[in-house]
Amino acid sequence: MLLAIDLGNTNIKYGVFDGDNLVASFRVSSRISRTSDEYGSVLVGLLADKDIKKSDITGIIFSSVIPALNYTICHMCEFFFGISPLVVGPGVKTGLNIKADNPREVGADIIVNSVSAYNKYGGPIVVIDFGTATTFDVIGEGCELKGVVIAPGIKTSLEGLATKTAQLPMVELDAPKTVIGKNTKHCMQSGIIFGFAGLVENIISKIKKELKVQEIFVVATGGLGEIIAKQVKCINKVDRTLTLDGLKMIYNLNND
């Protein structure tokens, strides 16, 4: 079995593949203060709940956007599973042609999502990842990453409102029935959900204009992708396992 680990700014996503099938997935918060023993004991417990033993794991691939946690997670893999993980980064085969001023600046999450989206759906394609940041990855024919747009994340924006203002609370992220709000909760939900829907539509429109195309396939991933997809017409597909699938593809490419 393959263990895929996606270390994001807010959460760590674990996925276990048995052949081509994703048989289990878990999500835990990513905290720099946690030790490799803490991460390992939690993961082993989660695996046990799915009747997966440590010895069942024969390979591990790992991508990260928090360099300060890389050693911790790598040490966890080596200590608990006896496996040195394949870490997505320079020197790892991905099949992605990165057209950036400095390809080393491109985050591992963007690389993995781009590889996954192109291989699953073809190109040209745009991946919108609704995470701590909202990223738009533009992939052309030949698995070419043409560029990226980075905007604030939905939860990041909401937390900014709630922590930087005296009278605005944290609210659940549900779309209200009307745009014009009649109470604080309704007003904030409207601004966040409909505001980000407008952001998505505008950026996709500008991407199509720059690429000189009438239409482009757009896939959304990340925890809040489904909420925004219901508010816009430009998102064609919501794929919650896009990143884990991409990690498996990259692992296979480097172990053929």
Tell me the two tokens of residue 79.
């200590």
Q: Report yes or no: 137 and 110 within 8 Å, Cβ to Cβ.
A: yes
DSSP-derived letter for residue 55 is G
CA distance 118 to 115: 5
Residues 6+ apart with CB under 8 A from 221: 113, 127, 128, 129, 130, 238, 239, 240, 242, 243
Strands 133-140 and 144-152 come out as: antiparallel
- Token pair listed for 20: 């081509």
Q: By the 8 A CB rule, do 128 and 86 touch?
A: no
Whole-angstrom distance, CA of residue 178 vs CA of residue 252: 47
Cβ–Cβ contacts within 10 Å for residue 101, how many?
Answer: 6
Q: Is 6 noted as a catalytic residue in this protein?
A: no
SS3 28: strand
For strands 133-140 and 125-130, give the pairing: antiparallel
Indicate which residue of 20, 101, 109, 174 is catalytic: 109
Q: Which residues are catalytic?
A: 109
